[in-house]
Amino acid sequence: MRGSPPVQLAFLLLGFFILGVPLVRLTHGGAESVTGAIRTTSATDAKPVFVRIRYSQKPLKLEVKRGGENVLPAGDLTASPVEAHTTLLSPLEGLEFSVAAEWPSGTPDTALTIEVEPDSLDGRTQTLWSTNGRIEDIASFTWK
């Protein structure tokens, strides 16, 4: 015996409705609260960041700035590496340093390496090279 097609269609639609209501609540209902929680967490969660700067030749002048503020401690540049600390507000923000360095005239092109290690994130390294005894560049670090 075969059933009536309108009755079979009604049972099929009832089954989709019974399964569809919980699925809609799971996929659409909680998304707003999760997004709000992520935004508030990333805005207030500042991670400490360890910064290390290495160079092969001692520079006469070295400035590493973030947002116009010098990251490096004032002091003698005879020892390499120079170490400092800063903060990272969120991994999506990343870090950007403005680097200015100057070496004595006659110094060959020199490498300056910046190592950045945020808490609970992988470390990043970028090497900048001087031209005619100077570096004026931007070092950018991002995490995904």
- The pLDDT tens digits of the residues spanning 98-130 come to 999 898 888 888 899 999 888 878 888 999 999
Q: Which pLDDT value is given to residue 121? A: 80
Q: Which of 25-39, 43-57, 129-143 has the highest mean pLDDT?
A: 129-143
Cα dihedral sign for 64, 68, 72, 77? positive
Q: How many whole angstroms separate alpha carbon 36 and alpha carbon 111?
A: 44
* pTM to 2 decimal places: 0.62
Mean pLDDT along residues 136-143: 88
For residue range 1-30, list pLDDT tens digits in order. 577 888 889 989 999 889 888 888 888 755
At 85, the pLDDT band (50, 70, 90 cuts) reads: confident
Rounded Cα distance between 64 and 98, Å, is: 6
Confidence of residue 78 (pLDDT cuts 50, 70, 90): low
